[in-house]
Amino acid sequence: MKRQTATINRLIDQENNISERFVNILLVSSYLSFIFLVSSLLVDKGHSIEKISNVLVLTFEVMAIIWTFKAGNRLNAFYEIPSSDIVSFDRCWMFLFGIFYFNYHINQLIEYDIGFDKLE
C-alpha cells in the first residue's frame, strides 16, 4: 500500500494525494492487529486481549477498504476511465475484496495497456 500510494501520488495533483499519514497509520494498525490476533489465540476466550484484537482487526479492515476506494477512484479519475467501462475499478469488488482486488485490477490495467509506463 505504501508503494502504490507513492506511485499514485506522483501521478495525481497534490491536493488529491492520499495522505502519507493515513497510510502509515494503516500499516501500524496492520502490524498491531496481527500481533494482537496471535496473542488472542494464546489467551482464554473473553480475555481483554481478544476484545482489543477484534477492534484492531476491524479497524484495519475498514481502513484498508477506505484506502482501496481512495486509490481506485484516483486512478479512475487520472486515466479518465468512466465507471461503466470494463477496466474501471468496480466499487462492489473493491468493497468485497479490497486490496486483493486492487492489485488484481492493476494487473488488468497493465494487460489492457492503460498506464503501463506510469504504473511501474
Q: What is the pLDDT of residues 40-92, one digit of tens each?
A: 999 998 899 999 999 999 999 999 999 999 999 999 999 888 888 888 899 99
pTM, 2 dp: 0.84
What 3-state class would DSSP assign to 16? Answer: helix
C-alpha distances in Å from residue 20, one per residue of 23, 61, 85:
5, 18, 30
Can you list the alpha helix ranges (DSSP code H) found in 1-120?
A: 2-11, 20-40, 48-78, 91-111
Instruction: Show me where the domains of the chain are located.
Output: 2-111
**Rounded Cα–Cα distance for residues 71 and 58 (Å):** 20
pLDDT at 120: 47
